[in-house]
Amino acid sequence: MNDLHTLLAELKERWTPQPDEPEETPEVAIRALWFAAANDPRGIARVEGSLPELDAAGIARLRTMVGQRAAGIPLAHLTGRQSFFGIELLAGPGALIPRLETQALVTGALERVRDVVKAQGKALVIDLCTGAGNVALALAHSEPAATVIGADLSEEAVELAGRNARYLGLEDRVSFRQGDLYAPFEEARFQGSVDVITCNPPYISSAKVRSLVGVGGVFARMAGWSVS
């Protein structure tokens, strides 16, 4: 395990803590990257325990990923996995990475969904700005009597959310549509029949705005931000 300690020290030297990612530390990141290098990608909730053996090719992959993480590429994009509200999601550049604080939205919405289920035996939920589908899938996973339909303006996000539904085996109760906000739900069957609506619009913490501007600033300018 000398490689682990050497690469961990390298990562620590170049580590910049992110206030909106308190769950990720250099120690957690290096373990997640190790599993990914062993072709066993995992979200950070599952990186404890014994690490698998890595051959020379695996060590090379690990070294490359450590360098990429130190350069600022998100851990979830390197591993392809993100832990969220007790489930593990596929992650990729098609949607923003689900964040820890969004679990508070799921907790509040789940309480309402369960009240509806208790009263009528089932619940229909729509999730706007669904992104990777994390809120929709967490609700369906936590409440088996809920049917959830998510929507997002981005075709790439809807594709990723659909893959997550299949990955979690929830495609029988969770589906996704492309469109802006309520536009995908203009059918008559949705009028007066939706029990709970959730929405977690995309956002980026102020701590990351400057780094985005440094990369090119296009996104920040499109959003109308002024960064001095």
CATH number of the CATH domain containing 165:
3.40.50.150
Q: Which domain holds residue 189?
A: 100-199
Angle between helices 56-70 and 26-37 (to 10 degrees): 140
Q: Does 73 share its domain with 104?
A: no
Give the global pTM: 0.85
Q: Report if residue 14 sits inside a domain.
A: yes
Q: Does 120 share its domain with 39?
A: no
- So what's the pLDDT on residue 5? 84
Q: Report if residue 214 sits inside a domain.
A: no
SS3 content of the chain, % helix, strand, coil (to 5): 50, 15, 40
Confidence of residue 20 (pLDDT cuts 50, 70, 90): confident
Q: Is residue 153's pLDDT more than 90?
A: yes
Q: Is residue 228's pLDDT more than 50?
A: no
Q: Does 75 share its domain with 111?
A: no
DSSP letter at 138 equals H
Read off φ and ψ for residue 134, nearest 5 degrees: -65, -45
Please provide the DSSP assignment of 59-100 as one string. Answer: HHHHHHHHHHHHTT--HHHHHSEEEETTEEEE--TTSPPP-G
121 or 202, which is more confident: 121
Contact (CB, 8 A) for 85 and 103: yes
The mean-pLDDT minimum among 16-20, 95-99, 199-203, 204-208 falls in 204-208
Counted domains in the chain:
2
Q: Give dist(CA 152, CA 200) in Å, integer.
A: 11
Q: Is residue 45's pLDDT more than 50?
A: yes
Q: Does 113 share its domain with 189?
A: yes
Q: Report if residue 171 sits inside a domain.
A: yes
Q: Does 112 share its domain with 59?
A: no
Q: Report if residue 183 sits inside a domain.
A: yes
How high is the mean pLDDT of the chain? 88
Q: Is residue 206's pLDDT more than 70?
A: no
Confidence of residue 35 (pLDDT cuts 50, 70, 90): very high
The predicted model gives 32-55 an average pLDDT of 95
Q: Report if residue 87 sits inside a domain.
A: no
Q: Does 39 share its domain with 72?
A: yes
Q: Does 194 share its domain with 109?
A: yes
